[in-house]
Every structure is written in structure tokens, then in C-alpha cells.
Homo-oligomer: A and B are copies of this chain.
């Protein structure tokens, strides 16, 4: 919600300001006005603009958006322009760039995988490997890059991992227990380690099967088993573990539905930007 995001954004600025901006207090006249122009310094996909725009307005800035979430930028492109109190602009500037550069980095990394995966009809999805406190921002950035956000939290959907199986018996039994016990509004996904377990999961009624750290050969074998049993259309097949721009097509071309990647969130390089400040 916008208000919750505003509170978070203000806490990020507060983390940077703490008491006051000592430099602006000394050198920028109280009441001075300025324009801030956010410029791309690298090529990539923009994200985070949708997140910050309403917040900046509520902080009293006039805002012109030149690139929306999901749009491509080249070095030198103007992304957004804000206008308002100069001290406040300088106070918010670094945090604004930190948000936009990170979100755009995530979107750019996502787009890199998406472009390759969709040649073969597969989707790219994120994981819960997001940076602490940035879950919503990163999931939105993944969508801006064309990806699927996957589960947003532990209460969204059931995802049975190998850790759970140690408490819950075999794949089939765990899936059946989960289907029976969870709400009819939720899907049940299970992470498996062998093609045979993938089949067992599908037979037990899993909505989604995640093939964890499979070689392309094992993925193929899992898909074949599912097809042989007439279950391929009943279950979404997701592949996870070490997916990157080099190997994503090796998996995608096998006919899986979804490729998920932690790296697009936890290891995205920031998309470089700067803010030019012009006194009015």
C-alpha cells in the first residue's frame, strides 16, 4: 500500500540523514528551490519508478516521469525529474538513487533471462532470496523485467522443500497431507531431487513441481516420465538452481514451464544512474 511504502521510504531517508544534513545546513540557503534530474549512466531496464513516484509527490515534490517501470534506457537518458525545496532534494537524492539503481538492476538481470527463456515459451520467476526489507520492491522489479514474482511470502502458497520432507515422510505423502490440510485457495508446490520424485509428486496431486538442481538430462527424464503417465498438463514444471544467462536456454528448450533464479534479486548489479541538481 502506498502509505506503508511511504513509511518505509521515509525510514530509509532517516537512516541516511539521522539528525540533519550537516553539509546542506551549511551551504544551501533555507528555502532555495532546485530541479533534480535522474539520468541513466548504463544500459538496462528501469524499475522502482512506480514505487517512488507517489512517495515523492507526497513529500511535496513535483515529479515528471520520463521512463516507466519496464522501459529500456541508454546511458544519458532522462528517467525522472523532480522539482522542489533544494535542501530536501539533496536529503532525498542518494536514497532515491539507491532505490532506483537497485530495482533497475534487478529488472535488468531479469530481462536478461526472460529474453532467452521466452524464445522457448518458458517463464522466468524470482524466489524468496530477496534482500532483507526489499521484498516488495524486488518482486515489483522482477515483474518490470518481465518475470513472475513467484510466492510473495510463506503464507501465500505451500512449497514443500527437502527440509520439510525430513519431518513429513516421502514426497507423495507430504503432498497429499498438504493438499488436504491447506486452504482450497492455495496451490501446493513441491521441490524434488529425482525424476522419480517428480512423478510421485504429480501423482499425489501437486500443482507445481520444482526440479531442484537437475542437470538438463534429468529434467528431460522427469518430463518424459510425466508425459508417459499423462500428467504433463496437470502440473507446472519449474526448474531451479544455478540458472543464469549461459544455461537458461539449455533448460528452457526442454519444454519446462518456469525457470527460477535467486541471482536476479540477491546478486543483481546496480544499474548506474546519477542525479543532476540545478538551482532554480
Q: Which residues of A does B touch, CB under 8 Å?
A: 1-4, 8-29, 32, 59, 86, 88, 90-91, 93-95, 97-99, 101-102, 105, 123, 125, 128-136, 139-140, 148-161, 163-164, 166-168, 174, 177-178, 181-187, 189, 208, 236, 238, 257-258, 262-263, 266-270, 275, 277-279
Contacts and interface: CB of A to CB of B under 8 A. Distances in A.
A16 B128 contact: yes
10 contacts: A3-B13, A9-B132, A20-B136, A20-B154, A27-B168, A94-B128, A99-B132, A163-B277, A167-B279, A263-B270
A226 to B, nearest CB: 16
A149 B27 contact: no
Given A16-B135, A105-B266, A151-B183, 6 more contacts: A16-B128, A22-B154, A102-B131, A125-B183, A133-B133, A263-B270
A125 to B, nearest CB: 7
Given A267-B269, A279-B166, A153 B184 contact: no
A270 B129 CA distance: 10
